[in-house]
Structure 1
């Protein structure tokens, strides 16, 4: 009976580990998966855009190809790096695309990304947050 209990405990541990690993992945398909500790960033038009958090916005027209840069969330571990993954940039209504874009993190969830500076989030994004 002890061996069976250990086997059941091992199976439950494996299931919990797999569930946690699945919950901590970067969706987008195609290029593989990386741990969620990587920030959501995309490059478009020679600029790098970073997730600004949960701010309401209106998705505009498709702008063109963009890509998620590689993510290496564990230094010195080559097995955790995911290569560049293509995506599409979308306009954010009322905001210049040189300031912010949206990408589809998955089909149902567009994400607002903005170019950040040493001063933080651009004023246009702060304005959107105030309207939220």
Structure 2
């Protein structure tokens, strides 16, 4: 006995596409493996300096410039319910990056040789900053 395809070839392809999308969507939901029932995300590496918030990004080959002054690495509680809720902000020292305006990006000595911090409100993209670094 021969089977009958009620959807036709195009219809069968659409049904298969929907099935794949539903399976993918289910696989991308957040897990709730913690005792608190919530999903915890890893904290972003950020620094607060001169009233601005800077996010950490990878950029190799930059040269530290002048010491700018005190900065703060905000506290991070990325594992709720694990007894680390008392972590406090950490003081740091901000440094200029040779060839880059500190209003756009800064560096911290302790952050590593390949991490810069980009001001989130500067509107400058990481590729633009990398060009400034190479041009210095």
**TM-score class normalised by the smaller sequence:** 0.5 to 0.7
For the residue of structure 2 that corresponds to 1:80, the secondary structure is coil
Q: Hey, what does 1:116 align to over in structure 2?
A: 120
Q: Call closer, same or farther: CA 1:45–1:80 in 2, change over 3 Å.
A: same
Q: 1:54-83: per-residue Cα shift (whole Å, max 9, x none)? A: 432110010000010011112x43723421
1:49 matches 2:54: yes
Instruction: Give the 5 Å matches for 1:60-99.
Output: 60-74=65-79, 76-77=80-81, 79-81=83-85, 82-99=87-104
Q: Hey, what does 1:21 align to over in structure 2?
A: none
Task: State TM-score, norm by structure 2.
Answer: 0.56
Structure 1 unaligned runs (5+)? 1-36
Q: Distance in 1 between matches of 2:73 and 2:82?
A: 18
| Runs of 4+ displaced beyond 6 Å | none
Q: Distance in 2 between matches of 1:118 and 1:94?
A: 16
How many residue pairs match? The answer is 93
Larger Rg: 2
Q: Distance in 1 between matches of 2:124 and 2:68?
A: 24
Q: Hey, what does 2:32 align to over in structure 1?
A: none
Q: As a proportion of its length, which structure holds more strand?
A: 1
